[in-house]
Amino acid sequence: MESFELLLTGLGNALSLYNFGVLVIGMMVGTVAGALPGISFVNAMAMALPFTYMMQPTMAMTFLGGIYVGGVFGGSISSILINIPGTPASLPACWDGYPMTKKGLSKRALRIALTSSAIGGFASALLLTFGSPPFARFALTFDQPEFFAATVLGLVSVIAIAKDAPVITMVSLFLGMLVATVGVDPMYGMARFTFGIADAQSGINFTVVMIGLFAIGEVVDLMCSKMNLNPKADSEAGQGFKLSEFPMIQWAVARATALGCVIGTIPGAGATVAAVIAYGIEKQASKRGKQFGTGVEEGLAAPEAAKNATTGAAMIPLLTLGIPGSAATAIMLAALMLHGIAPGPLLFTSDTTMVYTIFASMLLANLLMVAAALMVARGFSTLMKTPTAVLGAFIIVLSILGAYSVRNNFFDVWVCLGCGVAGYIMKRTGFPSAPLVLGVILGPLAERYFLTSLANYDNNVFIFVERPISGTILFLATIFCLWALWPMLRGAWPAKASGLADPDSAAPHKPGSARG
Amino acid sequence: MVDMRVFARIATPLAMIVCIFLLSGRIFDNPRAAQMIPDSFGPAFWPTWLLWGVGICCALWALHEFWMLRKAPAAAAPAEEPKDEEEYDTKLAWIGMAVVFVYAYLIQQIGFPIATFLFLITWCLLGGYRRPVKVLLVGLLGTMAFLYMFVMIALMPLDRGHGVFDDITVATYRLLGIY
């Protein structure tokens, strides 16, 4: 009962004029950014970060949550209407959504995608609301070794998700962790890898790295790919999708939602992995599996439900353990930390109102998504006429301002631009950038938890396996690692990466944007 | 003749190993101070462990590339450029990157408003958007929007430039009612 009362209080806060206003603005920004090919919701969140400085922490999280939820769906609008996925997670929407548009059923396809996404997202937000508090209570029993083990699990699962190219993913992850060691060390206060640069002593902020990798590199790539965003009028809008027809897709949505919720909680997985797996499972489960790819309703509903079902679930490890599992949740972590709030189990007792306002905002965001997406879909052709050069120019200025505003220090801008160059090269060569970002975020946490564990337990390195919870988590991490490396150990190491280009996931990707 | 891309695929991990080797000796600006710490888990422990991690993974990566080359040379060397690569302007990308670096440098020298106005126009022209009136409007209105949002509302201490540019920036702020 207490949870319901707290949720009602949170709902009251979320419905206050300012919070509701920023949620709606966030939804619109996210949906528009998601719908524009080449600009992902992660880019939008990174660019929105400087705006959150002038907001209260709850409002900042509401704003970013709105962008996240809206952006994850937004990509499907362009997938369905013009066969160009706005975000990599929307790629499966091209496979059955666009054929429906070609048949003159674009309105129906959009409504199926929207209904499925809203249901998946709402279920995930419910899981976040009612699953997080018990998990946070359990996490209160954690000491430093358990937090270290959980961080290691997060790092290892990034490798496990990128099963096709584990070694390159590990290189990227280790490089990210190495970048994070720049600056003064947490125990002895000695400067590392500073090369005599005074500004480097304060370290490299992960927000700056993220903005550089995901915004600057992407914008330059977008300009050079000469992508024409103007839509072709393929067909009429056609008939819609009635509520009475929902039973046709109900099991597809249910299966995909459950899958998305599970995948969302795994650090490093993200929406793309969930959408692609959901499509594959539905193809096997559906009676019309052989017709998939020709405009089958279940083939569109399943990946849509799965990708939005990752949104709330991905926030569980962030809020309960302070461990972000994706680039989007890492930006949320940055927003919290900029306001002096450290997420973790204690947050659930020290700032319950804020936590439940975030939950309520996520629930509301998934309901509001329907209205926001319909509005964006209607204005889509006008939106797509915005020249990419103009969009790119604004994104770069926002990125530079975003990097500068982290510490009001121009050193961060240069680091951001350096990361922009690195991000561009990584994108063109197919070197995965998401593990690097997660390495920059999780690396310092792992080091701090490792060293404080040793300091607290007389430098006993076996403490991590002697304690039951940390031992179990590390055992799971070992299994994950072996599972990822098994093909290589068997000598059947595949030559190429999987090609899942998700800025929000750890999976490696091919150069260029995914196009249907 | 060795395909450049095949060469790059093998050279990249090897070059990274060399960098890792060089970095291992440059963890601290003052290595003597670090040696005075008796703790085996001192400040060098974590970065050293990570350097080993990157080095071993790069060695495995290089071995894998060699193995792939020996196993299937044709697969390792793509015969032709992918179609989308033909439409891709790599030179423009590097020019774009250079423009962004120059913009960042100019912010400190001539101030945020003038640098941003010039950058918005330059980027639009570079991206192929060449309608003079619209480009000027994008530059002007865009700069004004950024100034109102970040200088007036967010109170961000953005660079005003040196000398005469500082005066111009202050005059611009006064004109817009920001200062």
Q: Determine the residue of chain A that is closest to B90 in CA distance.
A: A224
pLDDT by 10s per residue, chain B, length 179? 556 777 778 888 999 999 999 998 888 887 777 777 766 788 888 999 999 999 999 999 899 888 888 776 655 555 444 445 556 788 888 999 999 999 999 999 999 999 999 999 999 999 888 888 999 999 999 999 999 888 887 778 889 999 999 999 999 999 998 87
Q: Determine the residue of chain A that is closest to B32 in CA distance.
A: A190
Chain centroid to CA A334: 13
Are residues B157 and B79 part of one domain?
A: no
- Hey, which residues does A184 pair with through a beta bridge? A191
Q: Note the pLDDT of residue A513.
A: 36
- Shortest distance, CA B164 to any CA of chain A (angstroms): 21
Are residues B128 and B55 part of one domain?
A: no
Are residues B63 and B130 part of one domain?
A: no
- Nearest C-alpha neighbor of A117 from the set A161, A61, A68, A84: A68
Chain A residues with beta carbon closer than 8 angstroms to that of B33: 190
Are residues B77 and B115 part of one domain?
A: no
Are residues B129 and B110 part of one domain?
A: yes
Q: Where a domain ends, among B66, B83, B100?
A: B83
Q: Determine the residue of chain B that is closest to A436 in CA distance.
A: B54
Are residues B47 and B23 part of one domain?
A: yes
Chain B residues with beta carbon closer than 8 angstroms to that of A390: 124, 127, 129, 138
- Residue B92 has its nearest CB partner, among A54, A224, A512, at A224
- Shortest distance, CA A233 to any CA of chain B (angstroms): 23
- Shortest distance, CA B176 to any CA of chain A (angstroms): 20
The total domain count for chain B is 2
- Nearest C-alpha neighbor of A269 from the set A322, A342, A212, A324: A324
Are residues B108 and B61 part of one domain?
A: no
Chain B residues with beta carbon closer than 8 angstroms to that of A459: 39-41
Q: What is the pLDDT of residues A186-231, one digit of tens each?
A: 888 888 998 888 888 888 988 788 788 877 887 888 787 765 555 5
Domain ranges, residue B132 = 90-176
Are residues B77 and B122 part of one domain?
A: no
Q: Do B123 and A389 touch (CB under 8 A)?
A: yes
Q: Do A223 and B92 touch (CB under 8 A)?
A: yes
Q: Where a domain ends, among B83, B102, B120?
A: B83
Q: What is the DSSP letter of A242?
A: -
Tell me if A306 sits within 8 A of A135, measured CB to CB. Answer: no
- Shortest distance, CA B171 to any CA of chain A (angstroms): 22
Q: Note the pLDDT of residue B166.
A: 94
Q: Do A50 and B124 touch (CB under 8 A)?
A: no
Are residues B120 and B67 part of one domain?
A: no
Q: Do A175 and B116 touch (CB under 8 A)?
A: no
- The per-residue b/e assignment along A64-73, b for 16 or more CB within 10 angstroms, e otherwise, is bbbbbbbbbb
Are residues B153 and B102 part of one domain?
A: yes
pLDDT by 10s per residue, chain A, length 516? 577 888 888 889 888 888 899 999 998 888 888 877 666 778 788 878 878 877 888 899 999 999 988 888 888 887 888 776 777 778 788 888 888 887 888 888 888 998 899 999 999 999 988 888 888 888 777 888 988 888 888 788 777 666 567 888 899 999 999 999 999 888 888 889 988 888 888 889 887 887 888 778 878 887 877 655 555 544 455 566 777 788 888 899 999 999 888 888 776 667 877 887 788 788 888 888 788 888 888 999 999 999 899 888 888 888 888 888 777 888 888 888 888 888 888 888 888 888 899 899 999 988 888 887 777 777 776 666 678 888 889 888 988 988 887 788 899 999 999 999 999 998 888 888 878 887 888 888 889 889 989 988 888 889 999 999 889 989 988 887 887 777 766 665 554 444 334 444 444 343 333 332
- Shortest distance, CA B1 to any CA of chain A (angstroms): 22
Question: Is B11 an 8 Å CB contact of chain A?
Answer: no
Are residues B112 and B57 part of one domain?
A: no
Q: What is the pLDDT of residues A119-158, one digit of tens each?
A: 999 999 999 888 888 888 887 778 889 888 888 887 887 7
Q: Where a domain ends, among B83, B112, B129?
A: B83
Q: What is the pLDDT of residues A238-266, one digit of tens each?
A: 566 777 788 888 899 999 999 888 888 77
Q: Do A170 and B124 touch (CB under 8 A)?
A: no
- Nearest C-alpha neighbor of A359 from the set A42, A132, A136: A132
Are residues B111 and B76 part of one domain?
A: no
Annotate chain B with DSSP letters as a single string: ---HHHHHHHHHHHHHHHHHHHHHT-S-SSHHHHHT---TTSTTHHHHHHHHHHHHHHHHHHHHHHHHHHH-HHHHS-SS--HHHHT--HHHHHHHHHHHHHHHHHHHHH-HHHHHHHHHHHHHHHTT---HHHHHHHHHHHHHHHIIIIIIIS-------STHHHHHHHHHHHHHT--
Question: Is B151 an 8 Å CB contact of chain A?
Answer: no
Q: Note the pLDDT of residue B8.
A: 79
Q: Note the pLDDT of residue A412.
A: 92
What CA–CA distance (Å, rounded) separates B124 from B133? Answer: 12
Q: Note the pLDDT of residue A176.
A: 93
